[in-house]
Chain A
Amino acid sequence: MLKKKFSIFISFILLVFALLTYQSIKGGGRFIDLPLYPLKLLERAGSAVAGGVKDIFNTYILIIGKEEENRLLRERLNRFEQEKNRYIETELENRRLRKILQLKSERPDYVTTADVFARDPTNWFQMLWIDKGSDDGIAKDMVAIASAGPAGKVQRVFGDTANVILITDVNSSVAVRLQSSRVAGILEGGGDNRCFLKYVSKDVDVKVGERVVTSGLEGIYPEGLLIGYVTQVNREGGEMFQLIEVAPAQDLNKVEEVAIFRR
């Protein structure tokens, strides 16, 4: 019995291997984007529920057990607090959007602005799903820029969704230069929240805190955008180059919307 089950399982594994090999040779196949739609809904529902819970907490939970004469005053106060929170949220959103709009007016290659609705569910890729796609003019290798700096580039595009591979992904490489010394290098993703600046000679004096900007040499990212700051420099070891750790200028865990630009 166990032998039979084992044979069935091994056949299944072999079949999957064969299909993976076929897919690897043939290159991809048609991507099914259907499972992404409920993610969009979930993101919206989640935001609504979170907002509701926050409101309940602010308006109700905080006043339980207080004296009756304070209730009305506290309710008013809470209403004001809520309004204040809303203003703060709107103000923050406005600031982010204003920065994006500023980019839009400065750069003629602006395509559109999109909201982030999901991220990679595993820990293997650093990527975002955005709620706009080829219907809005987005194409592969376009650049996604958040309010504080470049987030990544568009990798796959569908009708109304696209995915953006972040600069922190291990497969991301961006041509950059150190702003003060003008030394060029390649910024590669570290697979977590860091990037590494590679191919900078050990002779170059790199300081912690130095700004790293895009050089535009790879023909994808526009030149001169602040992409991060040097956080650590390692000159030890027998290699020709130093290992420079860079923290992205934009906290990529907090990106909520991105502006898309042409190459």
Chain B
Amino acid sequence: MKKFLLYLAVAYLAVSVQAVFFRGVKPDFVLVLVCFYSLKHGGLKGAGYGALTGLLIDTVNGFVLGPHILGKSLAAFLVRAVRENIFQWNIVINTLAVTVLSVVNIFIVYICLETFAKISFVNRPWSVSAREVVYTIAASLALYAFFRPERENGSMIQG
């Protein structure tokens, strides 16, 4: 529980930093955190963490319930499902996973906003999403050394 709250506080800090200090296209630090948390603590816990951080982002975005709840919890569940089918986890596989999940997350948010909030993003250039993915990869590489999910191999099999 302590770790969960700590991770939640870190996610809140990440959202705040993105909202206050970043201009232009921003990396998705929260997605990276969700992946690391899920890899260490299991898919369901990760999905719960993803849902709460998603709720936080949606709240700061001006929604009550929004697409990030779905996007982040799905990312957590998927990264764990991939992990359970791969013997070894290293920085290359982690980067690939973050890349794919970042793209999946963008698609989910796009579809949910178009469907539920009826906000059209037809005019939005794809370069913004492409840059977001690149920056998120960079964030994941930078944070990998601090979180190192492969260290938890023993406990991960149970999760």
Contact = CB atoms under 8 A, between A and B. Distances in A.
Contacts of B120: 170-171
B149 interface: no
Contacts, number: 136
B86 interface: no
Q: How large is the interface on A (under 10, 10 to 19, 20 to 34, 35 or more residues)?
A: 35 or more
B87 interface: no
Given A16-B70, A23-B116, A188-B123, A35 B59 contact: yes
A36 to B, nearest CB: 7
A120 interface: yes
Contact of A196 (B43, B112, B119, B123): B123
Contacts of A163: 62
Interface in B101-151: 109, 112-113, 115-125, 127-129, 132
A208 interface: no
B79 interface: no
A13 B74 contact: yes
DSSP class of B's interface residues: helix, strand, loop or mixed?
helix
A191 B24 CA distance: 10
B80 to A, nearest CB: 9
Interface in A81-123: 117-123
Interface in B50-106: 51, 56-57, 59-70, 73-74, 77, 84
Interface string A18-40: 01110110001111100110110
B10 interface: no
Contacts of B15: 121
A20 B65 contact: yes
Contacts of A192: 24-25, 125, 127-128
B16 to A, nearest CB: 5
A191 B124 contact: yes
A29 B63 CA distance: 9
Contacts of A28: 64
A104 to B, nearest CB: 27
B47 interface: yes
Contact of B21 (A8, A38, A46, A129): A46
Contacts of A58: none
A32 B128 contact: no
Contacts of B17: 42
Nearest to B27: A123
Contact of A42 (B16, B22, B132): B16
Interface in A156-192: 156, 163, 170-171, 188-192
A250 interface: no
A253 interface: yes
19 contacts: A2-B84, A9-B47, A13-B70, A23-B116, A24-B116, A24-B118, A118-B20, A119-B19, A121-B19, A121-B22, A122-B57, A122-B68, A123-B25, A124-B109, A124-B121, A171-B119, A191-B121, A192-B24, A192-B25
